[in-house]
Every structure is written in structure tokens, then in C-alpha cells.
Amino acid sequence: MPTVSVKWQKELYRDVEIDTTQPPYVFKCQLYDLTGVPPERQKIVMKGGLLKDDSDWSKMGVKEGQRLMMMGTTDEIVNAPEKSPVFMEDLPEEEQVVAVGHSAGLFNLGNTCYMNSTVQCLHSVPELKSALIEYPQSGRSNDLDQSSHLLTVATRDLFSELDKNVKPVAPMQFWMVLRKKYPQFGQLHNGSFMQQDAEECWTQILYTLSQALRRPSSSENLDTVKELFGIDLVSRVHCAESGEESSETESVYSLKCHISHEVNHLHEGLKHGLKSELEKVSPTLGRSAIYIKDSHINGLPRYLTIQFVRFFWKRESNQKAKILRKVDYPLELDIFDLCSDNLRKQLEVPRQMLRDEEGRKAGLKLKEKSSTSVDNDVRMSDAEVSMGSSEKKNRLTGVYDLVAVLTHKGRSADSGHYVAWVKQENGKWIEFDDDNPIPQREEDITKLSGGGDWHMAYICMYTARTIAM
């Protein structure tokens, strides 16, 4: 990639890389990062003429070390006359963010909507932002590879940029580091970066952060990402033919909602996802046999992530096809019946306290508790629950509230368009369509359930409703 210098006003930016495999708009986003001049306000003059968003680099004659001239101004905030009304545009950027009620959008750098929508959803988790703020520039430990460290730093910096800006942010550094860490996101087709699967992007980013954000401890490395997103499963694996039975445990970052002609609601899809059929060799029979794997949740996260399994590999067309079937999902999700017997017992007291609290808010009169039930409450609150040590005061209840939806529009995972719909701290919902944040009504969020070619839920993220004990 050739490096050039760019003259803008009194500044000279040296050694600016140009990726000539990408359209000039991507280069303009780089300059936006450096200068604050939005791409649409930039005029870049070079020997081949004026650089347009769709110019052909090969015809512009760009050479190593060449000096380019850029014209354009940032939207500087002008101080309002004394005693005049203060308009939002006159406030500092940080205060504008508060006034607007949501953070910035993200420029699409060429089929990067899958990445932008993933970032917007994860950015909505305040505990993840806090953990990233504490992450040091130099890295935590020697066993973390450099590309994982750089991606963690880039995530931290991008989250910070989103919080400080009202105008769209160009995620250039984050995108470059993501491609270096996971080359699959740098695949090209006809000279342009290909659309990728948002769920794969989500999974890879979380995996990297789980490695980087482990907190050193005398006994064990506490995994921040597991505390926030980890779901513990316990499974019974049995073979009806041989009578063999065993149990397994595992930890995952999301539940799968399997979609079939029988599934009309998220809850039904989750039940299907927790039951699977395996074929493996039976030691008793000495040959392959069918085993049923029946799983239950044995440990809950603070943020419950659910993936709608909408894509499958179609051999005829050799691509990922999409299931368009409508599957309804709620704003409030109760997963008590998907939990193991052990976890259900641990949830009983917090759930009763939650019902009592909500009853009081609704103006209902509650029966006085007997001394026996109070003693039971105390014993339960002291019990160790597999929900992380930080949950000893605020206990999980198995009830979750929807805070983010990542949708896909189109017929294939490797094409179409991804968008994030995120609930803000003020309770308002914002649709983040790349660089364009659009306010939405809460009642419209659950309408993204599929059944046609409109945007439909691909990933839902819920936050735990807790009760203080």
C-alpha cells in the first residue's frame, strides 16, 4: 500500500496509507479520523484530478510519497452571543450526546454493516465498557497474543469515541485490527470487501475480549466476559437402544433458537435448541447408535444472548440460505422452565421477592411473612449460586428484559444488510443503521420477527432483572 502526505490548512499529515483495493471513500474516512472533516465535506486534489468517492485509483496515478492537498472544514461550534438561546449545536460534543440521548453512528467502510451492528449492541453493555476502560495500553499478561491485545485496545477506543461523539465515527482502526486478527473478515470479491456473518463477528470479538479481560487472582483468572455473557449448561446424554446414560457440562455465550415449522415463538425455539440428536459409537452395542442430548441451564449470565438459527448451508446453490419464518419474541423473557432443578431451587426466593416488589409497585397488599419464611430467605441469600461472586447482593431471577436486537434484511448471510436496534439508558430505542441513528417506538421493536423480506431478528440480547438481597 502506498503512503502519501496530506496537506490540510496548516497541518501536514505524513505516512498516510492508501489501500488501493478499497474505494476512495475508505481513504476519506481515514482522513476524517485524522482531521475531523467529514468525508462529504472533503475535497482532495491530486495530479489525476479531484478524488471522488468512486474514483478508480489506477487512473489517479497515486505514487509513493506523493503529497495531496485536502480542502474542507470541520463543523466547528460557534459561541452563541451573550444572553441568546443556547442551541444543542452550540454545546460541546459530550453535552450534545447527553442532549440527543444516544451515542454516535458508525460509517460503513464497505460492506461493514455486520461489524457496525455488532459493535453497537456490545457497546450498550456498561459493565463491558467499564472493564475495557480499566484495560491497560501495555496489555495484561505475556500469554496474550499481540493481535488480541490490539483488538481489545481498538474496541476500548472505539467505544470511547462512540460515547464522545454525536457525529458518525469512522471505525477504521478497529476494522483494520479485526481483519488482522481474523483474516476471514478481509475476504475480497471483485476488489471489494465481502459481506460477512454478524454472528461470527460477534462470537470472535467476545472470544478475544474473554482472553484479554481475565482478571489475575491468587486462586484463578476471573473471566469478565464469562461473568457477563456465560451460560452454564448441564446435559443428560442417553441412548434408548443400549440404556447408556452420562452427563456433560459446558459453558456457552449464547442460546440457540432453532426454527422449524413447529416453532412460532422464541420459547419454543429455545426448547428445540436445548435438545439434540447425536450419532456416536456405543461401547455396549459395539456400533454407532443414536443418543439424545437433553440440556438445561445451570448458571445464568447478566446478559442473555440468543441467536436465531436462520441460516443453513444450501448444497444446490453452495451458499448460506435463510429461513424467513416469523418467530415472535418478547420484551420480557422468563426462562425459569429451561433451568435445571438445582438452579430452579436457587431462583425460587429471588423470584418471590421480585413478585412481591412488583406487586407493591402495582399497589397490591401483600401477606405478612412468617418468621419461618424469613429464615428461609436468609438461608437462600447466603447460598452460593453459580452466577458469579458479584451477584451475592443483586440476585438473578431468571427474568430478562430486551435491550438490543441485531437484524438482517436479505436472503443470504453473506449479502443483505445488518442493523442494530439498541435500548438507551434513558429507555428510548434507537435504530443504528450504520451512520444513521433513528429513534424508534418500543412497540415496534418486537415486530422485527420475520415472515418476509423486511429486517428480522438474528440476535437478541436481554439484561437480567435482579433483586437486592
- Catalytic site residues? 113, 417
Burial class (CB in 10 A: 0-12, 13-18, 19+), 257: buried
Measured distance CA(195)–CA(413) in Å, rounded: 8
Beta strand pairing call for 3-8 and 67-71: parallel
Distances from the Cα of 452 to the Cα of 134, 303, 322, 417, angstroms: 44, 29, 11, 14
Measured distance CA(82)–CA(464) in Å, rounded: 47
CB neighbours (10 Å) of residue 326?
Answer: 14
- Indicate the DSSP class of residue 169: B
Query: Closest Cα partner for 366 from 374, 358, 377?
Result: 358
- Sequence length of the chain is 469
Measured distance CA(345)–CA(384) in Å, rounded: 12
Measured distance CA(307)–CA(296) in Å, rounded: 17
Three-class HEC string of 373-401: HHHHHHHHHHCCCCCCHHHHCEEEEEEEE
